């Protein structure tokens, strides 16, 4: 148990420095911390060397602290980002999660790329201002 705790602690400490990747390794680090504590307790009763267990406890404790701090720092940075970025992220989230409205797929009939039929002549073409108003609605 002590060796497993130490190995997981080494991996956790390395991954802890990668933002949001270390957060995934928080649960294994906590489990390895418990393994290290159990290993030290068992080996203390038997008067055996407890080095690997102690190393696992230290490594996993440090990894947990780093993971929590990195998550808090990067979350605070994301929350304090400019309101413009937050608004765009919120709009994107609403667009992705809005399942009440059906998704409309526009097809092009003449290959002009905007999903509408191209006017046959210049007389039929709408004025640029009218196009902007129609797009705004």
Residue 132 lies in a domain: no
Tokens describing residue 17: 């420095």
Give the span between the Cα atoms of 112 and 46, in whole angstroms. Answer: 81
Number of domains in the chain: 1
Give the span between the Cα atoms of 29 and 16, in whole angstroms. Answer: 10
Residue 103 lies in a domain: no
Residue 112 lies in a domain: no
Residue 123 lies in a domain: no
Residue 77 lies in a domain: yes
pLDDT of residue 118: 47
Residue 125 lies in a domain: no
Tokens describing residue 83: 């309101």
Tokens describing residue 111: 């290959």
Residue 121 lies in a domain: no
Give the span between the Cα atoms of 110 and 108, in whole angstroms. Answer: 6
Residue 109 lies in a domain: no
> Containing domain of residue 23, as a range?
2-84
Higher pLDDT, 107 or 3: 3
* pLDDT tens string 88-116: 777 877 777 776 665 555 555 555 555 55
- Of 51, 59, 55, nearest to 30 by C-alpha is 59
Give the span between the Cα atoms of 123 and 102, in whole angstroms. Answer: 35
Give mean pLDDT, residues 49-65: 93
Tokens describing residue 14: 């390395």
Give the span between the Cα atoms of 66 and 61, in whole angstroms. Answer: 9
Question: Residues for the chain: how many in total?
Answer: 137
> Rounded to two decimals, what is the model's pTM?
0.57
Residue 124 pLDDT > 50, yes or no? no
Residue 30 pLDDT > 90, yes or no? yes
- Of 44, 40, 34, 60, nearest to 52 by C-alpha is 40
């Amino acid at each position: 148990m002590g060796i497993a705790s130490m190995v997981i602690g080494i991996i956790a400490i390395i991954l802890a420095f990668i933002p949001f990747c270390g957060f995934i390794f928080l649960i294994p680090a906590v489990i390895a911390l418990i393994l290290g504590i159990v290993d030290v307790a068992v080996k203390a009763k038997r008067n055996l060397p407890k080095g690997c267990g102690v190393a696992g406890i230290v490594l996993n404790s440090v990894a947990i602290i780093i993971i929590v701090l990195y998550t808090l720092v990067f979350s605070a940075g994301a929350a304090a980002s400019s309101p413009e970025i937050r608004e765009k992220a919120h709009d994107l989230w609403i667009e992705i999660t809005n399942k009440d409205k059906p998704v409309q797929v526009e097809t092009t009939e003449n290959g002009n790329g905007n999903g509408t039929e191209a006017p046959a002549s210049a007389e039929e073409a709408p004025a640029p201002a009218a196009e902007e108003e129609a797009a705004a609605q």
